[in-house]
A and B are shown apart, each in its own frame.
Chain A
């Protein structure tokens, strides 16, 4: 079946702009995760959804970052007033409850 998909693949924006990154999980997976991967680093956890609710948002760096999953499937990560330090690859993963996390190809965000 189809894997996790993320759009856009690449996003270039200017400092101060608002961006939305979309994640479409594997069908039937109840859990969805967002990670951020800076250059030369491993992914760092941002937020985890179980169904529609955010079960753990302890990794969101500040209140400019927000994520939603209104129907328990597709999720959108929203970044307000982008800064150059937000440039990174944003990875989404999904899992069937306690199972292995399957990752999407990521969105590379570049803030100029």
Chain B
């Protein structure tokens, strides 16, 4: 079974600084997707960034980038120039890519990010 581990329950960062959230996962699959989702107090899960395992290049979306280390099964999220609106729970998630029907996401337990003004 696939598992996703987020070892940092809480993180904080000064506004405008950079913070990195950690995620590791365990899988025997070779083809899969990894995601970071943001969940503000409104409860709605918002996709931050997505990485395909077959791509060596790390995904970036504006101030958000990932460090994907496939051999180490590590997938960290870097937030640059942190803003107050970035405060939320951040969840790392995994989905296998190869088989039709295995569409479910497996989530970690989340990291609560606080932005200090």
Contact = CB atoms under 8 A, between A and B. Distances in A.
B107 A103 contact: no
A74 to B, nearest CB: 19
Range of interface residues on B (Cβ < 8 Å):
20 to 34
Residue picked from B37, B44, B104, B109, most chain A C-beta under 10 Å: B104
B111 to A, nearest CB: 10
A62 B47 CA distance: 30
B102 A56 contact: yes
A41 B47 contact: no
Range of interface residues on A (Cβ < 8 Å):
20 to 34
A109 interface: no
B106 interface: yes
Interface in B19-74: 35, 37, 42-47, 50
Interface in B101-117: 101-110
A103 B45 contact: yes
B32 to A, nearest CB: 12
Given A105-B42, A105-B43, A106-B44, A42 B91 contact: yes
B104 A33 contact: yes
Contact of B43 (A44, A55, A106): A106
Contacts of B91: 42-43
A33 B45 contact: no
Contacts of A44: 107
Contacts of B47: 100-102
Interface of B: 4, 35, 37, 42-47, 50, 91, 93, 97, 101-110
Interface of A: 31, 33, 35, 40-45, 48, 50, 55-56, 59, 89, 91, 93, 95, 98, 100-106, 108
